[in-house]
Amino acid sequence: MMSQEQNDLITRTGPKDPCGKLMRMYWQPAALLDELEGPRPVRPVKLLGEDLVLFRDAQGGYGLIERHCAHRGADLAFGRLEHGGLRCAFHGWLFDSSGQCLETPAEPVGSKLCQGIRQRAYPVVEKGGILWAYLGEGEPPAFPEIDCFVAPGSHTFAFKGHIGCNWLQALEVGIDPSHASFLHRFFEDEDTSAGYGKQFRGASAGTDLPMTKILREYDRPIINVEQTEYGLRLIALREIDDERTHVRVTNQLFPHAFVIPMNTEMTITQWHVPVDDENCYWYAIFTSYAAPVDKQKMREQRLELYELPDYVSRKNKANDYGFDPHEQQTATYTGMGTDINVHDQWAVESMGPIQDRTREHLGTADKAIVQYRRLLRQEIEKASKGEKPFMFLDASHARSIQGPATMDGIGPTRGWETFWMEVDVKRRRGAPWAAPVPEEIADAVPHLRVV
């Protein structure tokens, strides 16, 4: 358990909050690139508690500026895209992507009022199908050269979904290996050949055992947590018998992302981004090491649950997440259907808008959560002192943050330590794009360093 003060410290991300200062030192997902498609590329965005408007100008550049006009506060999300910027529909004031006011047409001819008017604005870049914003001061950090940023666009797919709770409890589901044996338990196994685009529905590497069967029957994993140069590595071991052990390797990418295997050919890199203290979006980039991603199928699958334009789940608190007591008895552990995003959403939203950690009781299986919170508090303190926090990267250091390695498969009970690395390296070496082998993995399995 922790005090209320400690809980506030690690959850609240407003402009004046210590954790908010830390989060503003990293690039944040602001929107999917898809959201600015169409004839009017303008979207309201709320990010880290700030009300903003995102737009693409006539030159193809992106602007992210304060949502309420500097004149008299009208909503720029309804502005007109004209003359290289966004024009307020109230009195015609025009702002460019840097926030500079270019015209104040209602003023007398020759007025220079616009020269001293500037909206708060933030830089925006596109990477991996996501538009990223930097809300901090000074020069932004470099992006790490992780797989989802290195892979070609043909082998990645980006999507997002809204969750009605604080970002931290949403993130912590992704660094909790044991919950999958319960929250995502299926009583019957499906044909794994039909598992494309679905998490936990295929077979693990090196076996025809469905992942659903492994999670259901081996529900007491041994969890190892290692510190890495990017955050934490989690290794969950489920011993099948004396000869075979299921090994699942996932990663926490500081500050608020995780990287997990989706199946033998694809990983998910997912960020949990604060909208405000009581709402967040998950942004995910799916990366394939084999065939190009079937983007249409992936998108259609997810749009069965998420409703545009705000990517809100059709199953939610208002309709009890589709809960069916008969299904809970016969088919799934939750009774909330087969989409694990619904399961996760129910779990974290049911904790309340901001989880009350003064009342929780952590166990051995929560060791990654304990270590992450310790790291988060440490870096909040650094940022509060004006120091550069962990993973605030310069260009040279960014090139060394690669991978990270993931794996989901059946390996030897004795020797799993190098087995999972070998599986990851072989997958990278066989990829149709230049998937880098992280140096620490290459050093551990030198016989696979060169094809």
CA distance 223 to 225: 7
Residue given tokens 């500026």 in the structure block: 65
pLDDT for the residue numbered 209: 77
Quote the pTM value.
0.94
CA distance 167 to 409: 30
Q: H helices within 231-366, ranges in order? A: 295-303, 325-330, 340-349
pLDDT for the residue numbered 51: 98
Residue given tokens 């696979």 in the structure block: 448
Contact yes or no for 32/285 (Cβ under 8 A)? no
CA distance 64 to 119: 10
Q: DSSP code of 264?
A: S
448 φ, ψ (degrees, to nearest 5): -110, 10
pLDDT for the residue numbered 440: 83
Q: H helices within 207-338, ranges in order? A: 211-217, 295-303, 325-330
SS (H, E, C) 335-347: CCCCCHHHHHHHH
CA distance 93 to 82: 11
pLDDT for the residue numbered 189: 85
CA distance 203 to 346: 26
Contact yes or no for 166/285 (Cβ under 8 A)? no
User: For every one of its 451 residues, what pLDDT tens digit does the chain have, with 9 covering 90 and above?
Assistant: 799 999 999 999 999 999 999 999 999 999 999 999 999 999 999 999 999 999 999 899 999 999 999 999 999 999 999 988 999 999 999 999 999 999 999 999 999 999 999 999 999 999 999 999 999 999 999 999 999 999 999 999 999 999 999 999 999 999 999 999 999 999 998 776 666 666 655 567 667 778 888 899 999 999 999 999 999 999 999 999 999 999 999 999 999 999 999 988 999 999 999 999 999 999 999 999 999 999 999 999 999 999 999 999 999 999 999 999 999 999 999 999 999 999 999 999 999 999 999 999 999 999 999 999 999 999 999 999 999 999 999 999 999 999 999 999 999 999 999 999 999 999 999 999 999 999 888 877 766 544 3
